[in-house]
Amino acid sequence: MGVEVSRLSNGLTVATETLPSVESVALGVWVKSGARNERDDEHGIAHLLEHMAFKGTGSRTAFQIASQIENVGGEINAATSVETTSFFARVLSKDLPLAIDLLADILTDSNFDPAELEREQHVILQEIGAAHDTPDDIVFDRFTETAFRHQPIGRSILGTPETVRSFTSRQLHSYMERQYGADRMVVVAAGDVDHDTFVREVEKRLGGFRATSDNVAPQPASYFGGDFREDRDLMDAQIVLGFEGRAYHVRDFYASQVLSMILGGGMSSRLFQEIREKRGLCYSVYAFHWGFSDTGIFGVHAATGESDIGKLVPVIVEELRRSGETILPEELDRARAQYHAGLVMSAESPASRASQIARQLLLFGRPIPREELVDRLSKLTTERLTDLSQRLFSTTPTIAAIGPVGSLASYDRISASLPQYAPAEQKLAV
C-alpha cells in the first residue's frame, strides 16, 4: 500500500504505512527542533523537556502516564537529537487510541511541576556524570565540540550541570511554545494501522495545536576542525579522527554513507581487516558518517592500548589515502548490499519504519520510496567514490582523544600526513 500522507487544517502532517502480518503499531510525534535550536542560555533544555514530558499533565500524574500504557503491554518513550525531538509509543493495534491520547496529552498539557523538575534535574546531573565517566561516549561530545566550536550544533545534548540546574518550569513552557508548532511537526504510525482512522484520531487530539511556532532558524553550521586531548589513566585510549561530511540534501550524501561502509562498516571493511585482523592494533575500529541539514561529519573511531597508539593512527591515515586512489568494484558491491539489506530490515520493524518516514518528511517534505534510494545507490561508481575520498580527507581534520594519549602524534604532524590534493584535481562537484 505504501506510505499515505495527509495534512490537517492546522498544517500538521500525518502519515501511515500499513505493514502486513503485524499486529502492533509504532507511532510518534517528531518535532523539527532539537539541541541545535537552543539559545546560549538554554543549553540542555530540549533534553530536559523530553524528560519532563512524562512527569505529569493536567489530567494525569507521572505514574498514570506510565501505568496506563503498560497496563495494555505498550511502551512509551522520547528522544532528543541535534535537530529533532521525538515522542513515541508502541502498542497493540486495538490500543492505538490510548497511545495517541497519551502522546497528545504530554504535548498539549504537560504541567512541568517544580517538584518533579527538581528531581529530574538531579537525574540528568547523574546522566552527565555517567557520560563523563564513559570515555567511549564522551569522546564524541569532545569531537563535535571541537569540529563546530562555540556553536549549538557542536554542544552536548545533555547540557552542563550549571545550565541544567538553572532551568525553571516557566522556561520549559516558554521553550515549548516557541519551538513546537504544527508546521514543524509530523505524526507517523507504522504497522497494523488504517490511515483514515488514524488521521481522525490525531485530528481529535492535535487538530487544535498551534499552527506555527515562533522559532528562529538555527545559525548555519561552520566547520572548524581542531584538536582535543585529555590524558586520563585508563586501560585504553579512545580516538576519533574526522572531517567535515555532507549534509542530507547534497549530491554526495549517499556516496559518503557508502564510503564509510567500505572503510569501516563491518568485519570485511578495510580498516577492520588491516588494523585489527592483520596487525592486531586495536579491538574496535569503524568509520561513520553523520548528516545534518547543512553539514555533516565523516569520522573514524578507534580504541587501543597506549603502546599501540603510535602505530595505529598512521595506518588509519594510510587507509584514508588509499581510498582516494582505488575503490574496488567488489567493495562497492558489498557496501551497496549492506545498505540495501539495512533498508529492507528496517522496513520490517514498525518502529524503525515510522522513524524513517518521519525523518524523510521533516528533511525532504516527502517519504522517499525504497526504489528511489536503491536507484541512487546503483548509480554510484568507484570513480566517484575515489574522487569523494580525495576531497574529504584532504580537508582540515578534527581529532579528539581521551585516555593515555601521550604518545599520540601532534595535530600538525597528523595533518601533514593526510592526503594533499590540489583543487585542480577535483573532478566532481559536491
How wide is the angle at C-alpha 366 spanned by C-alphas 362 and 369, nearest 5°? 120
Q: Which of 17, 42, 50, 145 is catalytic?
A: 50
**Burial level of 332, CB count in 10 A (0-12/13-18/19+)?**
buried
**Burial level of 249, CB count in 10 A (0-12/13-18/19+)?**
exposed
Active site residue 50: yes
AA letter at 169: S
How wide is the angle at C-alpha 328 spanned by C-alphas 325 and 333, nearest 5°? 140
Element housing 30 (H / E): strand 24-31
**Burial level of 221, CB count in 10 A (0-12/13-18/19+)?**
buried
User: What gap in Å lies between CA 18 and CA 25, rounded to an integer?
Assistant: 9
Q: Which residues contact 412 (CB under 8 A, 6 or more apart)?
A: none
User: What gap in Å lies between CA 227 and CA 400, rounded to an integer?
Assistant: 6
What are the catalytic residues? Answer: 50
